[in-house]
Amino acid sequence: MKPASFKYVAAASVDHALSLKAEHGDDAKFLAGGQSLMPAMNFRLAQPAVLIDINEIADLTGIRRSAAATRVGPVTRYRALQRDAAFARDFALIGEALPHIAHPQIRNRGTIGGNLAHADPASELPAIALALGARFHARTATQERWIEASDFFVGALTTDLQPDEMLVDIELLLPKPRTGCCFMEIARRRGDFAIVGVAAMMTLGERDECTDVRLAFCGVGETPIDASSAAEVLVGGTPTEAAIRDVAASMQGMIDPGGSVHATADYQRHIAGVLTERALRTAHQRVRDGR
């Protein structure tokens, strides 16, 4: 399965990449890690006329920490995220999800920005971005804007990025103090696309009452689903087993999984409920354990 012909340009800078994208629009695609784009091209499901390689642009990689937020360059490889101890500690959700993303060989090349811009409905990082309330910096040759995660993922394999835009930075807000996080997924084999994945965060106050809950899913809709509202009922009280089970049940009503060759929609809905219970329980336990 060989790709169709295209013109290849190794962009030297962000401006260079953006001017090329402005020129070619949808006929051009950015090549980051290539771990999603190249299979599509080898199957000839994607046939861009122009491929803009952004791997050599130093400005697009790296992790920059500040007091309230961390900014990650989109071409930062999964491997780099896994090996950055501070990052894995600050963003435990991502640290916990990374071993589920494919295999080491893929993680040595694949990038966080590539993953987010590809917006596969079963992909873990978009759901985590929703849970964390991430923001994405998009630029064109002449303009720029910040996009909230909740506005970024608009459909299966579709983001709000316009034909002349590129994702140039990703901002992740640090979870508040006393927040326990848990990412879980069910897949047929480790590294396969999630049948259902859940990112859960629970914040406790001084009296160990729940002050905030975030809940987001992958695999159960065309886009990642923010189901935090289903967990709002936990806020203000001490999360009990029964309360967590109720959250799981009401969350199941908020999702509309499509099923796949690997799982029926009902199984996905069922699993989403099971994972909700387990992830919330674990997040709660972790914050109590001080993790």
Partner 1 sequence: MDGDFHDITLSVNGKQYRRRVESRLLLSDFIRHDLALAGTHVGCEHGVCGACTVLLDGQPIRSCLMLAVQARNHEISTVEGLTDKDGEYHPLQQAMHDHHGLQCGYCTPGILMTMTAFLDENPSPTEDDVREALSGNLCRCTGYQNIVDAVMTAAMRTRSR
Partner 2 sequence: MSTRTFGEPVKRNEDRRLLTGQALFIDDIELPGMLHVAFLRSQVAHAKIVSIDVSSALKRSGVVAAFVAGDLGDYWQQGPLLVPPPPIAGIVFHQRTQVPLAKDKVRHVGEPLVIVIAESRYIAEDALDDIDVELEPLPAVVDLEKGLAHGSALVHDDVGSNVSAHVRQTKGNYAAAAAKADQIIKRRFLYEHGISSPIETRGVVAQWDKRANQMTIWDTTQAPVFVRNGLAGMLGLNERQVRVIAPFVGGGFGPKIMMFYPEEVLLPWVSMKLNRPVKWIEDRLEHFFATTHERGQIHDAEIALTRDGRILGIKDVFLHDGGAYDPYGLTVPINSQCTLLGPYVVPNYDSTFTQVFTNLPTVTPYRGAGRQHGVFVMERLLDFAARELKIDPAEIRRKNLIPPEAFPYKNEIIYQDFQPLEYDSGNYEPVLDMALEAIGYKAFREEQVAARLQGRHIGIGLACYVEGTGIGPYEGAKVQVQSNGKVSVATGIGTQGQGHFTVFAQIAADQLGVAVGDVDVVTGDTDQFYWGAGTFASRGAVVAGNAVNEASKVVRKKALKLASDLFECAEEDLVIEDGKVSIVGVPGKFVKLGDLARQANPMRGAVQPGTEPGLESTQYFGPKMGATANGVHAMIIEMDPRTFDLKILKYVVVHDCGTVINPMILAGQIHGGVAQGIGNAFYEKLVFDDQGQLLNASLADYLLPTALEVPRMELGHTVTTSPLNPMGIKGAGEAGAIPGGPLFAQAIEDALDLKGRGVELLEIPLSPSRLFELTRNAQR
Contacts of 166 (CB under 8 A, 6+ apart): 14, 17, 18, 21, 30, 54, 138, 139, 140
Cα(91)–Cα(217) distance, rounded to whole angstroms?
A: 17
Q: Is 207 in the site for partner 1 (CB under 8 A)?
A: no
Q: Is 2 in the site for partner 2 (CB under 8 A)?
A: yes
Judged by beta carbon, residue 65 or residue 270, the one nearer partner 2 is 270
Q: Is 51 in the site for partner 1 (CB under 8 A)?
A: yes
Beta carbon of residue 218, minimum distance to partner 1 (angstroms, whole number)? 20
Judged by beta carbon, residue 178 or residue 262, the one nearer partner 2 is 262
Work out which of 71, 100, 109, 270 binds partner 1, going by CB under 8 A: 109
Judged by beta carbon, residue 38 or residue 254, the one nearer partner 1 is 38
Q: Is 85 in the site for partner 2 (CB under 8 A)?
A: no
Kindly identify the residues of this chain, within the stretch 214-253, that bind partner 1 according to CB under 8 A: none
- When CB distances are held under 5 to 8 angstroms depending on the partner's kind, the choice from partner 2, partner 1, none that residue 274 binds is partner 2
Q: Is 114 in the site for partner 1 (CB under 8 A)?
A: no
Per-position DSSP letters for 203-266, written without gaps between them: EE-TTS-EEEEEEEEESSSSS-EE-HHHHGGGTTS---HHHHHHHHHHHHTT------SS--HH
Beta strands at 210-218 and 196-204: parallel, antiparallel or unpaired: antiparallel
Q: What are phi and psi of 96, to 5 degrees?
A: -80, -30
β-sheet bridge partners, residue 182: 200
- When CB distances are held under 5 to 8 angstroms depending on the partner's kind, the choice from partner 2, partner 1, none that residue 264 binds is partner 2
Cα(169)–Cα(52) distance, rounded to whole angstroms?
A: 17
Cα(68)–Cα(59) distance, rounded to whole angstroms?
A: 21
Binding mask 18-37 for partner 1 (x = CB under 8 A): -------------x--xx--
Cα(129)–Cα(159) distance, rounded to whole angstroms?
A: 13
Which residues in this chain contact partner 1 in the complex, by CB under 8 A? 1-8, 10, 31, 34-35, 38-39, 42-43, 51, 53, 55, 79, 99, 102-106, 108-109, 189-191
Which residues in this chain contact partner 2 in the complex, by CB under 8 A? 1-5, 39, 43-44, 186, 188-190, 192-193, 195, 261-264, 266-267, 270-271, 274
